[in-house]
């Protein structure tokens, strides 16, 4: 459920210009939280902390600082921008220019290039100096803790920004998220009036506006209604999981990583299943990792892939041998499958509960989220948030 922001980019009113930063609620708290972020990185550095803190700070402290600088003096704002650059590992001026360009384009303005001004060059030099110092003084910590956490944090920021606008600018009104992220979920409202203080964004909400039940970075979990008939995916109609699958298709390293993690999980489950001669995979044609793995682990079993998208099947054919059977169809709940083993990928479009409540074959392996274990289960990867659940009649 989405709504598009169509109003013009807001300009500060005269009252807003008189409302000096030190009089606005929350800015002193933001400064204190930025200091706490820095202390945490020094005292208890870890990959999860670096990643989550970068993502959180970029979408709260740094984001609010872009639209409403915290200090009345320009020198103080420049100093805080330099501090944020060191804290987040990228020039705040670059983030500021790119973000304001995003707002201008969303309001119908012409695209603008990044300006290599003095602030950008100075902040870039600071970040390079910090990274060089870290690499020299603590090379292992820099390479194996800081950089992985920093890259993961940037990935979370990318997901966050993408899903805030993937189907039109979309808000999330959950109380917990908006408490922790200072009303960042009010994204339609923010686009309508970018200079409005975060604490006043709920006042702009129109009850007629729909929103997503998920915060932006978790909007990958959004699922469309089950498809009524076999159709190819339409432009803009990809689920979040399908979007991620397409990113995997672009990287051989990502492909090797996901295949390795899934292969380990299948090796733990398959020995308990007995002889398997016929395998059917329901969906998962976009990147057929399950078929590739089972082809290797059970080379004598016949393999069938059922997918609602002919385009996905065409992609799968490029990875698999000619003896694999491809069926362009939609699997419907309650339909039996003539196979010894049925495998259901996480990107299955439809209600996966039917595979637990009424399994279509004697043995079914269901890819599910890591927090949904069943009696017979094995974890795929904490990073991928996935597990395999075994269902038997």
Domain ranges of the chain: 14-218, 246-392
Range of lowest pLDDT (39-48, 176-185, 338-347)? 338-347
> Helix (H, G, I), strand (E, B), or coil: what is residue 54?
helix
Torsion sign (Cα): 21, 22, 25, 31: positive
**CA 378 to CA 184: how far, in whole Å?**
36
Q: Which residue has the higher pLDDT, 365 or 331?
A: 365
> Helix (H, G, I), strand (E, B), or coil: what is residue 379?
strand
Range 24-37 average pLDDT: 84
Pairing mode of beta strands 302-307, 325-328 = parallel
pLDDT of residue 128: 97
**CA 4 to CA 272: how far, in whole Å?**
51
- For 154, how many CA atoms within 13 A lie in the half-sphere containing its CB? 9
C-beta of residue 264 within 8 angstroms of C-beta of residue 378: no
* Cα–Cα nearest to 181, from 33, 45, 38: 33
> Helix (H, G, I), strand (E, B), or coil: what is residue 316?
helix
Task: Please report where in the chains the tokens 């459920």 appear, as a residue.
Answer: 1
pLDDT of residue 110: 65
Bridge partners of 278, per DSSP, are 302
What is the 8-class DSSP label of residue 223? -
C-beta of residue 357 within 8 angstroms of C-beta of residue 340: no
Write out pLDDT tens, residues 256-282: 888 888 888 888 888 888 889 999 988
- For 318, how many CA atoms within 13 A lie in the half-sphere containing its CB? 7
* Cα–Cα nearest to 93, from 122, 115, 120: 120
Confidence of residue 334 (pLDDT cuts 50, 70, 90): confident
What is the 8-class DSSP label of residue 96? H
Written as six digits, the tokens of 386 are: 């996935």
pTM over 0.75: no
Given a cut of 80, whether residue 332 has pLDDT beyond it is no
pLDDT of residue 225: 37
CB-based burial label for 154 (10 Å; 0-12, 13-18, 19+): middle
**CA 378 to CA 376: how far, in whole Å?**
7
C-beta of residue 336 within 8 angstroms of C-beta of residue 238: no
Range 15-32 average pLDDT: 59
Range 130-149 average pLDDT: 96
CB-based burial label for 122 (10 Å; 0-12, 13-18, 19+): middle
Q: Which residue has the higher pLDDT, 211 or 150?
A: 150
Range 33-44 average pLDDT: 96
Range of lowest pLDDT (17-21, 102-106, 142-146, 156-160)? 17-21
Range 64-69 average pLDDT: 95
pLDDT of residue 205: 87
Task: Please report where in the chains the tokens 């289960």 appear, as a residue.
Answer: 377
Share of the chain above pLDDT 70, in %: 82
> For all residues of the chain together, what is the average pLDDT?
82
Size of the chain in residues? 393
Given a cut of 60, whether residue 144 has pLDDT beyond it is yes
> CA triplet 23, 24, 25: central angle to 5 degrees?
120
**CA 374 to CA 391: how far, in whole Å?**
8
Q: Which residue has the higher pLDDT, 126 or 262?
A: 126
pLDDT of residue 11: 42
Confidence of residue 237 (pLDDT cuts 50, 70, 90): very low
**CA 261 to CA 370: how far, in whole Å?**
13
Highest averaged pLDDT of the listed ranges 66-75, 212-221, 236-245: 66-75
Confidence of residue 15 (pLDDT cuts 50, 70, 90): very low
Q: What is the CATH number of domain 246-392?
A: 3.40.50.150
pLDDT of residue 177: 94
């Amino acid at each position: 459920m989405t709504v598009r922001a169509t109003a013009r980019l807001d300009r500060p009113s005269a009252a807003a210009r008189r409302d000096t930063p030190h009089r606005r609620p929350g800015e002193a708290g933001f400064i204190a939280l930025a200091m706490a972020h820095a202390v945490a990185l020094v005292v208890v550095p870890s990959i999860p902390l670096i990643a989550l803190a970068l993502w959180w700070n970029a979408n709260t402290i740094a984001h609010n600082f872009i639209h409403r600088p915290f200090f009345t003096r320009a020198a103080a704002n420049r100093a805080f921008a330099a501090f944020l650059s060191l804290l987040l590992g990228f020039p705040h001026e670059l983030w500021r220019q790119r973000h304001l360009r995003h707002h201008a384009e969303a309001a119908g303005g012409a695209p603008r290039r990044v300006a290599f001004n003095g602030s950008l060059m100075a902040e870039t030099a600071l970040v390079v100096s910090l990274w060089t110092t870290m690499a020299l003084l603590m090379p292992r910590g820099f390479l194996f803790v800081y950089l992985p956490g920093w890259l993961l944090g940037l990935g979370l920021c990318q997901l966050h920004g993408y899903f805030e606008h993937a189907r039109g600018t979309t808000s999330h009104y959950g109380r917990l998220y908006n408490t922790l992220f200072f009303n960042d979920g009010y994204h339609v409202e923010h686009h309508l009036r970018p200079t409005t203080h975060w604490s006043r964004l709920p006042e702009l909400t129109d009850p007629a506006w729909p929103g997503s039940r998920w915060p932006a970075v978790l909007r990958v979990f959004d699922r469309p209604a089950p498809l009524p008939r076999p159709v190819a995916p339409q432009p803009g109609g990809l689920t979040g999981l399908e979007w991620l699958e397409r990113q995997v298709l672009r990287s051989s390293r990502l492909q090797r990583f996901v295949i390795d993690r899934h292969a380990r999980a299948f090796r733990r489950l398959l020995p308990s299943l007995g002889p398997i001669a016929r395998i059917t995979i329901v969906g998962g044609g976009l990147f057929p990792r399950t078929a590739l793995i089972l082809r290797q682990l059970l080379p004598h079993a016949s393999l069938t892939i059922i997918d609602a998208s002919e385009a996905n099947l065409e992609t799968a054919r490029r990875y698999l041998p000619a003896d694999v059977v491809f069926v362009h169809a939609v699997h419907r709940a309650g339909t039996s499958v003539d196979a010894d083993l049925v495998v259901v990928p996480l990107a299955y479009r439809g209600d996966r509960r039917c595979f637990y409540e009424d399994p279509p074959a004697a043995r079914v392996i269901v890819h599910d989220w890591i927090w949904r274990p069943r009696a017979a289960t094995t974890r795929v990867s904490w990073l991928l948030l996935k597990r395999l659940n075994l269902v038997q009649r």
